Structure 1
Amino acid sequence: MSSRLSVTINLGAIADNWRQLQHRLGANRECGAVVKANAYGLGMAEVAGCLAAAGCRTFFVANVSEGAFLRSCLQSYSRVCIYVLQGVEAGSEQECLDFRLRPVLISEAMVRRWASFTKEHAGEPCAVKLNTGMNRLGVDVGSLPALLEAFPAFWGQQVGLLLSHLACADEPHHPLNAQQLASFEQALARVRKVNAQIKASLANSSGIFLGERYCFDVARPGAALYGLNPTPEAKNPMRSTVRLALPILQTRNVSGENYVGYGAEACVSGPRRLAVVAGGYADGIFRAAFPKMVGRLNGVRVPLVGRVSMDTLTFDITEVEGDVENGQIEILGDYISADAQGAAAGTIGYEVLTRLGDRLRRAYLSGAE
C-alpha cells in the first residue's frame, strides 16, 4: 500500500517564490534560502539545486552535517555560501573548513573559540548571531562590547555577517518587532565601527513583509519559499508548492447510525457514503487533525470522519457525485494549504511539511506544471 503514496513537490513554484521575494527585496539586497530540516521535509538536494539554478547563492542550514551534505549537492556552484545556524561544536572546526561552511557563532564562548581557531586556520568568513529579544540562540547584546574589544582583528577580518532572529514577524503590530529592530540597529552600528563592510540579516519570511528597515543586506526566508503564508493576516502571496493526494482504498454506503474509527468517537447518521484512503499518522498526518481536517475530491470539500489511524483515514464523500473508486482525496494542494491543515491539527504549516513521512515518495515537478 505504501508504495502507492507520494507527495508532489513543485520545484518551479519554489523557484518562483524565491524570485518573488528577491524582487520584493530589490537589487541591493540578497534573498537567501533556509533549507534546514531537509528543506522543510521537501528534499534538500532537489530544492537547493533548483534554487541555485534560479540564482540563489546563500543558503542556511541547521548544523554542520546538513552543511556538508548541502555542499556535496551544490558542487557545481562554486560561489555558493552555506551558513550553519547552530554554529560549530568543538571538534567540528576542521569539517567546517573542509566543506567551506560559514558557522553562525551563537555564544560568547563560541566566538572566543572560533576566533582563536582562525588565527591559525584560514577559512570562510563566519557570522555572529545576536540575541535581541527572542532569547533562543545568540550572543547577548550586552556581551558585544567586550567581544569587540577582545578580538578587534577577528571582527574586522573574519566576521562577514551579523544577524538576529525576529520572534513575532508574523504579527506585524507586535511591539517586540520594533524593539528587536532597534536593538539590532544599535548593535550593528557598534560593530560597523570595527568592520564597516559587515553585512546584516534580520528578516525571515515574514520579516521581509514588515518593511524595508527590517530587510538589511540579506534576508533568510524559509517558510515562504515552500508556500506557507508569511502574512497570516492577509492573503497568501506565495505559490503553493506541495500536493498530497491519498488513494481511495474502499468506499462504503451506510444507513442509520454508525460509528467510525477507533474509540467510536465519530458517529454518522445515514444514508452516508464513506471513503477510506491510504495514509495515516505513520505518514505524518496528525492524529489530532480530527475533527477539523478536510480533504478535496472531484472539486468537493469532504470532512474527515473518525480518528486518524496509522495507515488510513476515512472521509465522508456523500456530496461527491460520480464514480470515485479509483480516485484520490487531496489533503494538501492549491485549495487546501499546509497552514490550514496545521490549524486543523492545532499546529502550524511548518510542522505539517517537516512531518511528511518517509513512506511518502517525493515526486518533483521541475517547471510551472
Structure 2
Amino acid sequence: MPRNTIAHIDLDALRFNFSLAAANAGSARPMAVVKADGYGHGIRAVARALATDTECYAVACLEEALAIRAEGLTHPVVLLEGVHAQADLKICLKEGFEPVLHNKVQIDWLTSEPVRPVIWLKLNTGMNRLGFGPQELAEVVDRLAPDEGLIRGLMTHFACADDLASPETAAQTEVFANFAEAHPDLQRSVGNSAAHFRPGQALYEWTRPGIMLYGATPLIGQTGPELGLRPVMSLESELISVRTLAAGDQVGYGGTWTAEKPTPMGIVAVGYGDGYPRHAGTGTPAWINGRRVNLIGRVSMDMLALDLSDAPDARIGDKVELWGAHVAVDEVARHAGTIAYELLTGVTARVPRQYSE
C-alpha cells in the first residue's frame, strides 16, 4: 500500500479566505490568483472551487490559463507575465485571456495582429522588474488609443507591501495614481495579498489576492491564522519507527543532533523529496496526538526525526501534521529561513492531494 504522506486540501477554507479578501477589498473586486499550480494546491481543483466566488482568475503564464479552460470554466483569465511569443496572442483572443503587456516587443507583436485580445498594461512604479516607466507607458497608451476597448486597465506590483513600516508602498501608489489620473476610462489594479491588510491603501477596481487565499501570511512578522486566515493545506504523514535514543546517540546525516539523555524518537515518512524543507532545523515544530513536538537532526530526502519527549505515548502508525491547522506553514517557513510561498508551491508530485469540502 502507498505511504500515508498526504496533502489534505480544505476547499471550504479556500473559499473562506477568498471571502475575507473580498471583504478587505471594499468596493474593489478580487481576481483569484491561482498561478504555480494554485500555489501547490492544484490549479484545476482550486479554480473549480472558486468558480462561483471570483469573477476573474490571474495566472503567470499561458499553460496555467489553458488548465483553467480545460475545466470548462469561461471566466476571464489575466496573464500576469503577458505573452512569450506572438502566436500566444491568437490563443488569448480565442480563449478570452487578457495578457498584461510590459515591454515594447510585446506591443510590436500586438500591433502587427489584425485582431487583438483585450490587454492590461504594466506600469513600473518602483519594483523594477517588469513594466513601462510612466513616460514609456504614456507613449504606448497613445499608440494603442485608436483601437477602442483594446486596453482593459493598468496594473502595477508592490515591492514592499509585506512590510507595514515601509514607505515604499505609499510612494509606488503615488506614482501609479498620478499616471492613472490621466486615464480615468481604464480599470486599475495594484493590490496584492499584503495590500488587503494595509490600512488606508487605495485598491481601485481590482485586487489580486494570492498567498492569502491559501491561508499563509502576506505580512512580515505575522502568521496567516493571526490575520484571520484559515490554513488550506495540511501536510501529513505518519510515524514509521519509534525508538529510544541513549544519551550520546547522534541522529541523521552528519550527526548534527546528539541526545543528552534517554530520548524517545520517531521517524516520519516525509522529507525534502516531498517538498518538506531540508533547511528546517532542530526545533522546527510538528504535531502528533494533540501535542507539539520538535524536529531533530537533518531532514533527509524521505524521512525526518522527531523528539517525542512531549508525546511519549506515540506509536508507529500515528499521524503527524507537518503543517496545517495546528502548526502554521508560516512558522515552519520561518524555521527553515524561507517563506510559506516556497513551501506550498514546493510540495512535490509524489504527495497525493486529497480534497475535502
1:121 aligns with 2:119: no
Task: Give the drift of 1:114.
Answer: 1.3
Looking at structure 1, the residues matched to 213 and 40 of structure 2 have their Cα atoms a distance apart, in angstroms, of: 13
| Alignment of structure 1 residues 122-137 onto 2, 5 Å | 122-123=116-117, 125-137=118-130
- Closer/same/farther in 2, CA of residues 273 and 213 from structure 1, 3 Å limit: closer
1:168 aligns with 2:160: yes
Aligned length: 353
Instruction: Tell me the secondary structure at the aligned position of residue 295 of structure 1.
Output: strand
User: Is the 1:132–1:184 contact (alpha carbons within 8 Å) kept by the matching residues of 2?
Assistant: yes
Which of 118, 138, 141 aligns to 2:131? It is 138
Match of 1:70?
68
Match of 1:85?
80
Of the structure 1 ranges 283-292 and 126-135, higher mean CA displacement relative to structure 2 is found in 283-292
| Alignment of structure 1 residues 168-317 onto 2, 5 Å | 168-190=160-182, 192=183, 196-234=184-222, 235-317=226-308
Task: Give the drift of 1:224.
Answer: 0.3
User: Is the 1:229–1:237 contact (alpha carbons within 8 Å) kept by the matching residues of 2?
Assistant: no
Q: Please list the CA deviations of residues 208-231 of structure 1 after superposition, one character each: whole Å capped at 9, or x if unmatched.
A: 122454211000000000001134
Match of 1:18?
18
Instruction: Tell me the secondary structure at the aligned position of residue 92 of structure 1.
Output: helix
Task: Give the drift of 1:187.
Answer: 1.3
RMSD (Å) for aligned C-alpha atoms: 1.6
Looking at structure 2, the residues matched to 116 and 213 of structure 1 have their Cα atoms a distance apart, in angstroms, of: 38
Looking at structure 1, the residues matched to 105 and 133 of structure 2 have their Cα atoms a distance apart, in angstroms, of: 12
Looking at structure 2, the residues matched to 214 and 230 of structure 1 have their Cα atoms a distance apart, in angstroms, of: 17
Of the structure 1 ranges 304-313 and 287-296, higher mean CA displacement relative to structure 2 is found in 287-296
Task: Give the drift of 1:112.
Answer: 3.3
Instruction: Tell me the secondary structure at the aligned position of residue 229 of structure 2.
Output: coil
Looking at structure 2, the residues matched to 245 and 65 of structure 1 have their Cα atoms a distance apart, in angstroms, of: 29
Which of 143, 146, 149 aligns to 1:150? It is 143
- Closer/same/farther in 2, CA of residues 175 and 101 from structure 1, 3 Å limit: same
Looking at structure 2, the residues matched to 324 and 142 of structure 1 have their Cα atoms a distance apart, in angstroms, of: 66
Task: Give the drift of 1:326.
Answer: 2.0
| Alignment of structure 1 residues 287-366 onto 2, 5 Å | 287-366=278-357
Of the structure 1 ranges 245-254 and 86-95, higher mean CA displacement relative to structure 2 is found in 86-95
User: Is the 2:195–2:201 contact (alpha carbons within 8 Å) kept by the matching residues of 1?
Assistant: no
Which of 35, 54, 57 aligns to 2:55? It is 57
Which of 85, 90, 100 aligns to 1:104? It is 100
User: Is the 1:108–1:143 contact (alpha carbons within 8 Å) kept by the matching residues of 2?
Assistant: no
User: Is the 1:208–1:214 contact (alpha carbons within 8 Å) kept by the matching residues of 2?
Assistant: no
- Closer/same/farther in 2, CA of residues 323 and 165 from structure 1, 3 Å limit: closer
Looking at structure 1, the residues matched to 287 and 229 of structure 2 have their Cα atoms a distance apart, in angstroms, of: 21
Instruction: Tell me the secondary structure at the aligned position of residue 258 of structure 2.
Output: strand
Task: Give the drift of 1:122.
Answer: 4.5
Larger helix proportion of the pair: 1
Q: Percent identity?
A: 30
State the one-letter code of the partner of 2:46: V
Looking at structure 2, the residues matched to 100 and 33 of structure 1 have their Cα atoms a distance apart, in angstroms, of: 16
Of the structure 1 ranges 346-355 and 336-345, higher mean CA displacement relative to structure 2 is found in 336-345
Task: Give the drift of 1:323.
Answer: 4.5
Can you give the 5+ residue segments of structure 1 that lack an aligned partner in the other structure?
Answer: none
Looking at structure 2, the residues matched to 244 and 152 of structure 1 have their Cα atoms a distance apart, in angstroms, of: 50
User: Is the 1:2–1:359 contact (alpha carbons within 8 Å) kept by the matching residues of 2?
Assistant: no
Looking at structure 2, the residues matched to 171 and 65 of structure 1 have their Cα atoms a distance apart, in angstroms, of: 32
Looking at structure 1, the residues matched to 134 and 332 of structure 2 have their Cα atoms a distance apart, in angstroms, of: 38
State the one-letter code of the partner of 1:160: R
Task: Give the drift of 1:321.
Answer: 3.6
Instruction: Tell me the secondary structure at the aligned position of residue 228 of structure 2.
Output: coil
Looking at structure 1, the residues matched to 111 and 139 of structure 2 have their Cα atoms a distance apart, in angstroms, of: 14
Instruction: Tell me the secondary structure at the aligned position of residue 153 of structure 1.
Output: coil
Looking at structure 2, the residues matched to 38 and 69 of structure 1 have their Cα atoms a distance apart, in angstroms, of: 9
Task: Give the drift of 1:303.
Answer: 1.1
Instruction: Tell me the secondary structure at the aligned position of residue 339 of structure 1.
Output: helix
Instruction: Tell me the secondary structure at the aligned position of residue 281 of structure 1.
Output: coil
Q: Please list the CA deviations of residues 244-272 of structure 1 after superposition, one character each: whole Å capped at 9, or x if unmatched.
A: 12210010012221010011111112211
Task: Give the drift of 1:298.
Answer: 1.4
Looking at structure 2, the residues matched to 21 and 146 of structure 1 have their Cα atoms a distance apart, in angstroms, of: 34
Q: Please list the CA deviations of residues 312-333 of structure 1 after superposition, one character each: whole Å capped at 9, or x if unmatched.
A: 0010102214242220221111
Instruction: Tell me the secondary structure at the aligned position of residue 48 of structure 1.
Output: helix
State the one-letter code of the partner of 2:156: S
Looking at structure 2, the residues matched to 39 and 149 of structure 1 have their Cα atoms a distance apart, in angstroms, of: 36
Can you give the 5+ residue segments of structure 2 that lack an aligned partner in the other structure?
Answer: none
User: Is the 1:85–1:103 contact (alpha carbons within 8 Å) kept by the matching residues of 2?
Assistant: yes
